[in-house]
Amino acid sequence: MSAFLELTGITKKYGDTVVVDDVSIAIEKGETVCLLGPSGAGKSTVLRCINMLERIDNGRIVLDGEELGWRLHRGAMRELSGREEARQRQEIGMVFQSFNLFAHLTVLENVIEAPVGVLKRKKAEAIAEAHELLQQVGLDHKADAYPAQLSGGQQQRVAIARALAMHPKLMLFDEPTSALDPELVSDVLDAIKQLATTGITMVIVTHEIGFAREVSDRFVFMEAGRVVETGPSARLSVEAAENERTRGFLSKVL
Ligand SMILES: Nc1ncnc2c1ncn2[C@@H]1O[C@H](COP(=O)(O)OP(=O)(O)OP(=O)(O)O)[C@@H](O)[C@H]1O
Ligand SMILES: [Mg+2]
């Protein structure tokens, strides 16, 4: 039985430089896993490979029993067409450091845009669900505001609601709070913590170790493109981490 999300020996090169080097990670359904490591370790690249913004040079990624980017056709593996790939990508929600909301649309319009435009959901249904999602991230009272009228932390929470509106199988977060002023960080982290209790599967790149320890089930520590250590998040302390390099990293950031 394979895991819900299974990365097997994935490798990504830029020219001759290997930035993700034979990485294997297995994540069970409903698990929250945080991805840690120094700058340049390859964390963002791993997320970008999972949601097919980057093409892997080697290895395979299987989500919920389906290989990403490829399918078996008459006994041979064939690359997916752009359309098939877009369908797979829809099942993966991604929240970046920058929020990328549509500036000319209200908060509510931002959240319903893809469900209505891409999934062809009925508008009234999409609106009702958008209100629920906005409530979940504490922002339903801002439904009619425009992104420029919101703080960075509020915009990031709208970005989370917008991703959830597509009913993703998997949520990926790449340093969701690192562009925020310190006083805005906790609301966003709280929204993600709340999300973790809903049973969705999540991979979170973060430098907030306290948050990682609290919200995630497991950590994966990467360095120079490779997985160095993985373990239960309770072990995210200088004393408890097993690998010397993980301990060195934690001693710098904690
Ligand atoms: N498009 C690209 N072309 C060439 N090299 C790249 C490209 N994107 C990333 N890299 C290189 O790949 C390596 C891994 O980058 P990546 O962004 O995945 O690191 P990271 O772990 O997310 O770091 P950070 O914590 O700073 O965000 C880095 O050395 C980076 O310079
Ligand atoms: Mg990064």
Q: How far apart are CA 7 and CA 50, in angstroms?
A: 8
Q: How confident is the model at residue 7 (pLDDT cuts 50, 70, 90)?
A: very high
Q: Do 249 and 47 meet the contact criterion of CB atoms below 8 Å apart?
A: no
State if residue 42 touches ligand 1 by the CB under 6 angstroms criterion.
yes
Mutate to test the pocket of ligand 1, among 36, 44, 209, 252 (most ligand atoms within 8 A of CB): 44
State if residue 19 touches ligand 1 by the CB under 6 angstroms criterion.
yes
Residue range 168-203, pLDDT digits in tens: 999 999 999 999 999 999 999 999 999 999 999 999
Distance 211 CA to ligand 2 centre (A): 17
Residue 73 confidence (pLDDT): 84
H or E, element range at 205: strand 201-205
Residue 185 confidence (pLDDT): 93
Residue 77 confidence (pLDDT): 85
Q: Which residues are registered as beta bridge partners of 5?
A: 27, 63
The half-sphere exposure of 63 on its side-chain side, counting CA atoms within 13 A, is 24
Residue range 32-79, pLDDT digits in tens: 999 999 999 999 999 999 999 999 999 999 999 999 998 888 888 888
What is the number of the ligand 1 atom nearest to the C-alpha of 37? 21
Among protein residues, the one whose CA lies closest to atom 27 of ligand 1: 39
Q: How confident is the model at residue 94 (pLDDT cuts 50, 70, 90)?
A: very high
Report whether pLDDT(216) > 90.
yes
Report whether pLDDT(164) > 80.
yes
The half-sphere exposure of 120 on its side-chain side, counting CA atoms within 13 A, is 0
Report whether pLDDT(214) > 80.
yes
Q: How confident is the model at residue 99 (pLDDT cuts 50, 70, 90)?
A: confident
Strand order in the sheet with 5-14: 17-27, 5-14, 58-63, 66-67
DSSP for 28-51? -TT-EEEEE-STTSSHHHHHHHHT
State if residue 39 touches ligand 1 by the CB under 6 angstroms criterion.
yes
The chain-wide mean pLDDT, for the chain, equals: 95
Q: How confident is the model at residue 206 (pLDDT cuts 50, 70, 90)?
A: very high
State if residue 117 touches ligand 1 by the CB under 6 angstroms criterion.
no
- Which percentage of the chain shows pLDDT scores above 70? 100
Q: How far apart are CA 189 and CA 179, in angstroms?
A: 13
State if residue 44 touches ligand 1 by the CB under 6 angstroms criterion.
yes
State if residue 14 touches ligand 1 by the CB under 6 angstroms criterion.
yes
Distance 225 CA to ligand 1 centre (A): 9
Residue 74 confidence (pLDDT): 86
Report whether pLDDT(1) > 80.
no
Report whether pLDDT(162) > 90.
yes
Residue range 103-121, pLDDT digits in tens: 999 999 999 999 999 999 9
Considering all CA atoms of the chain, what is the largest pairwise distance in Å, rounded to the nearest integer? 56
Residue 72 confidence (pLDDT): 82
Report whether pLDDT(127) > 90.
yes
